[in-house]
Structure 1
Amino acid sequence: MDGYAIALVFAVLFGLAIGSFLNVLIHRVPLGNSIVAPRSSCPHCGAPIRIGDNIPILSYLMLRGKCRTCRRPISPQYPIVEALTAGLSLALFIKFGPTLQYLLFFLFCAALEVISVIDLHHRIIPDILSLPGILCGLAAALLLGHVSFVSSLIGAIAGGGILLLIAFAYERLTGRTGMGGGDIKLLAMIGAWLSAWSLPLVVLIASLSGIVTGLVFIVTSGQGLRTRIPFGPFLSLGAVIYLFFGPLITRWYLDVLS
């Protein structure tokens, strides 16, 4: 096995390990609990998770998705998050190689992943994730130079401003609150990381994917227009797609126009 192949394996293992930690964040951050102590435990019986039962994905398969102590089912969210994080780590390593850019954008994608799952479960986007994420995006612009600091700053301001205007207009027209402050701060974070130029495409992807998903849920849930779907996961999806394919999509769109 050559050096590059070994590096790819390391990227996957690194992603699996971080994915396991992301599950801790997803569970504890909304509750305001410490992410350091106590040790992870079964959410049903409270039995501490053994070290040998905490191996990403593998332990879930060996235990057949059940707690060793009480035999009640473990949420499939745990191996899904671990596998997704490993996939993101591998894709980012292939794109950027063993660079600071890989590490920082992995941090960005991991934060989006945690935010998305928390938003799906609790319909909230914690400020403790989005606000430091804005600052980290501005710092990344200075460290990496992938975008100018001015563009990053404008992206943060414009990202928050766009959704703030949309939320204000929706509330004025319908008399209902349609978008939370968490979504506004999340788009500001995305703008800080990816620059102001990314925002139109990110919002477009998020809106289209959100509309399609919303229509499916409206039809299948039986709740009609009362169905409420969090927007954070779709903004995160738009950001990740832009990160990997933004320039390619933009060139294709300009070619179509011309």
Structure 2
Amino acid sequence: MQEIPLWYAAILFAILGACTGSFYNVIVYRMPRGISLISPPSFCPHCKKHIPIWFNLPVIGWLILRGKSACCHQPISIRYPIGEALCGLLGAFALLLANFPFQDASLFSFTAPVAHWADSFALFWLLLAIYPISAVDFEFKLIPDSMSIGGIVIGILLSFFPGGITPLQSFLGAIFAGGGLYLIGFIAGKILKRDAMGLGDVKLVAGFGALMGIGNAFFALVLASLLGILVMVPYRLIKKENSQEIPFGPFLAIAAPIVYRFGDLFLNFYFGLFGLE
């Protein structure tokens, strides 16, 4: 198969990322409010009128409208174009990260080997998922099923691409990573006499297992726990909050692409400290 120039593929991934970000804006708005992601079609949050498709173009639509709705001229939050632009950048970054180190020192002669497509799309999913998971979980303490269950489906589908984990590894990764976390949460809940782990977190980790196997999924869980401690403990001390509910999804979402791309390097370094390479 003829190789595709990496700069060209990066542009396509950026466009795809921006379009995905536009859909994620729908998830962020509708999912916590119990509104279907499919019906009704796009509507103005102020006057509920239908929004024509040309005004839904990522970033461009907001610029054309100058930040105001076409129907009732109410302000449109700048969060929407920022989310779309961020997802566009993350889309291009996913492709570049999957193919690093590059084959050539010249940007316009970079090529993306077919063997890296599985990693490229997996990182695309993982990096872009940070936006909707964080936006919803921080505010509503929920993880959208479209992201957690969607991760399981994406992981199993990508396992059929060359260069990734096998379909059997993906299937077992989803079952044992999700099931293992559920068991940990169940035991912790019995000890603490309260819910210790939400099902959204369990399904999200199951998606990680489908994307990168059992070992890396649990490594992501460990890294997410460390990130959560480093961020939430000082935050609560400063804010003097006593809430027992912690939005764990954002830390899982941030840890997953790090582990997917660099997990083997971390593990080799760790085992090397004990002469176990």
TM-score range, shorter chain: 0.7 to 0.9
Q: Give the Å deviation of 1:237.
A: 1.2
Q: Give the Å deviation of 1:190.
A: 0.6
Tell me what 2:109 maps to: none
Q: Does 1:118 align with 2:136?
A: yes
The 1:48–1:171 alpha-carbon spacing in structure 2 relative to 1, beyond 3 Å, is same
The 1:103–1:128 alpha-carbon spacing in structure 2 relative to 1, beyond 3 Å, is closer
Count of paired positions: 256
Q: Give the Å deviation of 1:89.
A: 1.2
Tell me what 2:260 maps to: 243
The 1:127–1:53 alpha-carbon spacing in structure 2 relative to 1, beyond 3 Å, is closer
Sequence identity percentage: 35
The 1:218–1:165 alpha-carbon spacing in structure 2 relative to 1, beyond 3 Å, is same
- Correspondences of 1:1-258 after superposition (within 5 Å): 4-49=6-51, 53-60=55-62, 65-67=67-69, 72-94=74-96, 95-96=98-99, 97=112, 99=114, 100-101=117-118, 102-103=120-121, 105-111=123-129, 113-223=131-241, 225-226=242-243, 228-258=245-275
Question: TM-score normalised to the size of structure 1?
Answer: 0.81
Question: TM-score normalised to the size of structure 2?
Answer: 0.76
Residues 134-155 of structure 1 deviation map (CA, whole Å, 9 limit, x = unaligned): 2432332233351233432332
The 1:11–1:70 alpha-carbon spacing in structure 2 relative to 1, beyond 3 Å, is same
Alignment partners' CA distance in 2, 1:183 and 1:4: 34
Gaps of 5+ in 2: 100-111
Alignment partners' CA distance in 2, 1:51 and 1:153: 37
Alignment partners' CA distance in 2, 1:54 and 1:154: 39
Tell me what 2:108 maps to: none
Instruction: Give the CA RMSD over aligned residues.
Output: 3.1
Residues 98-150 of structure 1 deviation map (CA, whole Å, 9 limit, x = unaligned): 75423455345445643343323322224454335324323322333512334
Q: Is the 8 A contact 2:122 2:155 kept in 1?
A: no
More moved, 232-241 vs 88-97 = 88-97
More moved, 162-171 vs 36-45 = 36-45
Residues 186-234 of structure 1 deviation map (CA, whole Å, 9 limit, x = unaligned): 11111111001203320121001111221233123332x3253211111
SS of the residue 1:43 aligns to: coil
The 1:64–1:247 alpha-carbon spacing in structure 2 relative to 1, beyond 3 Å, is farther
Q: Give the Å deviation of 1:184.
A: 1.0
The 1:154–1:52 alpha-carbon spacing in structure 2 relative to 1, beyond 3 Å, is closer
Gaps of 5+ in 1: none
Alignment partners' CA distance in 1, 2:140 and 2:216: 27
**Comparing both structures, which one devotes a greater share of its residues to helix?**
1
Alignment partners' CA distance in 1, 2:207 and 2:164: 16
